[in-house]
Amino acid sequence: MNESVKQERFQIIPPPYRIKVVELLSKEQMDIADNRQKREEAIKKAGYNTFLLKEDQVYIDLLTDSGTNAMSDNQWAGMMLGDEAYAGSKNFYNLEKAVREIYGYKYLVPTHQGRAAEHIMSQILIKPGDSVPNNMYFTTRRVHQELAGATWVDVSIDEAHDPQSWHPFKGNVDLEKLEALIQEVGPEKIPYMSLEANVNMAGGQPFSMENLTALRALCSKHEIPIMLDGTRLVENAYFIQRRETGHEKKSVRQIAREICSYTDGVTVSGKKDALVNIGGFLACNDKKLFVEARAMVVVFEGLHTYGGLAGRDMEAMARGIYEMVQDRHVAARVNQVEYLGHLLLQARVPVVVPIGGHAVFLDARRFLPHIPQERYPSQALSAALYLESGIRGMERGMVSSGRDPATGEERKPRLELVRLAIPRRGYTHTDMDFVAQAIIRLYRMRKRISGLKMVYETERLRFFQARFRPAGGRLTG
């Protein structure tokens, strides 16, 4: 099976839309594309952290696929139908219907974005001293588990940490690692299995249905609920359709629903798959969890029928949920990401394989073997990419991994990556050609890139605001 993914031939899948409105780039953005001096000043001022650049200092923005999607005419039409009543907005009921029909969970608690749902879920389910097994980690999910007093435990398969492994389902859970944890701490100390669809930090990698059903059986045996991070559910469903025997003839919509049916609840950032600029939710089948979450959302977000969202935003998300499961949409979206990956693979630029669903990840360890992990190679690479081209990516290595809350030591992940996340429906293949050319040029001059020292960090989620300076005086010599 590994070989079959490796040997797939790349073919373009055209998108199922036409462009009706475009966002014009400002004069500043066009100047940035042409003027290296300006980019040098900008990245220096931003402390070599691409999160701290202003948007008008960026030419092509691949920082994230979160909230950066282009909404459809149907979604914009829905925005005009926003019912801004404080309580009982029509749009909440439309969203509830969409979540029931597509995900299949009974109860919905809307939130302004994904991490708010993670906060509520963690505070309700976790007791101090618990352990939460995860298939790798996502920054916000892990921080909320730790803030609630749990220890995060990685139960992902080893291949997930190997950027060169062609395993088709790097998002799988290693059931032996999970069994060992259950034996060690006891099932009563495991409030839930935290399962992420299309694991972001592993490179946008799916789990298989086979692995999920085995996980369900193991968790049911020990009465451990499975709480899904369904932020990129449909991209995972699409890979199952394409790669897993027995699922080829099912629609993405059917597969997505089947995935949810093996889980007990979900937190979702609607800003990714669901094609909106803001929004999220917690959904579940357990009435007790729902009642507690509904009571808590009014403290942190807003009334339980808007959860921090305007009525119009709930409407856009409800419509986005129906659009996101359309087979042609998902296929074309992932295909655009694969197009960029394919160009880089052809040029032998080191990237995570298989190419993920939402992003191409540069492998900074192989790109910059001369920079030790203590000098933050991924951070240096993302800063250098901006400096040389005006393209913004994101560090996904030691800076993102942060510090162990128990020891205060920096975590040293095996993966040192720079993520180039592709917003849905926002860029063209010409943009991807431009990005590939810039990265290939950067790869040719890679020996001139030097490492960074961290000069400021925050206690949690430090990658957002940390600041750096070049260890050798200049970023690119």
Point out which residues bind ligand PM9 (CB under 6 A).
64, 66, 113-115, 138-141, 196, 200, 229, 231, 269, 271, 280
> Do 359 and 392 form a contact (C-beta atoms < 8 A)?
no
Cβ atoms of 127 and 185 within 8 Å: the answer is no
Between 174 and 196, name the residue whose CB sits nearer to ligand PM9: 196
Catalytic residue list contains 138 = yes
Smallest gap from Cβ 369 to ligand PM9, in A, equals: 26
Residue 210 CA to residue 230 CA, distance in Å, equals 18
Where does residue 372 fall: left (phi above 0), alpha (psi -120 to 50 degrees), or beta otherwise?
beta
Minimum distance from residue 68 beta carbon to ligand PM9 (Å): 9
443 catalytic, yes or no? no
Write down the least CB distance from residue 171 to ligand PM9, Å.
Answer: 11
Minimum Å gap between C-beta 420 and ligand PM9 is 12
In terms of Cβ atoms closer than 10 Å to its own Cβ (0-12, 13-18, 19+), residue 458 is exposed
Rg, the chain, Cα only: 22
- Catalytic, out of 130, 174, 229, 273: 229
According to the 3-state scheme, what is the secondary structure of 214-253?
A: HHHHHHHHCCCCEEEECCCHHHHHHHHHHHCCCCCCCCHH
The helix (run of H) or strand (run of E) holding residue 152 is strand 151-154
Catalytic site includes residue 407? no
Burial of 118 (0-12, 13-18, 19+ CB in 10 A): buried
By beta carbon distance, the residue nearest ligand PM9 is 114
Both tokens assigned to 189: 């100390």
Q: Could you tell me the two tokens for 274?
A: 């669901």
Q: Is 458 a catalytic residue?
A: no
Token readout for 112 is 């302004």
CA–CA separation, 394 and 461 (whole Å): 13
Helical pair 36-45 and 27-34, crossing angle rounded to 10 deg? 100
Nearer to ligand PM9, 182 or 215 (CB): 215
Q: Is 38 a catalytic residue?
A: no
Catalytic site residue 463? Answer: yes
Residues 100, 290 contacting (CB under 8 angstroms): no
Catalytic position from the list 48, 92, 107, 138: 138
Cα gap 424→429, rounded to integer Å: 12
Residue with tokens 């250098």, as numbered in its chain: 384
Nearest to 346 by CA among 9, 4, 5: 9
Among 139, 140, 263, 305, which one carries the catalytic annotation? 139
Annotation marks residue 139 as catalytic: yes
User: For ligand PM9, which is the closer residue by CB, 64 or 91?
Assistant: 64
Tokens of 144: 């909320």
CB of 113 to ligand PM9, least distance (A): 3
Catalytic residue (one of 103, 169, 463, 468): 463
Phi-psi map region of 115: left, alpha, beta (phi>0 left; psi -120 to 50 alpha) = alpha
Q: CA–CA separation, 420 vs 361, rounded Å?
A: 6
Contact partners, residue 97, CB within 8 Å, separation at least 6: 318
Q: H/E element holding 467?
A: strand 467-470
Biggest CA pair distance of the chain: 61
Catalytic residues: 86, 138-139, 229, 272, 396, 463
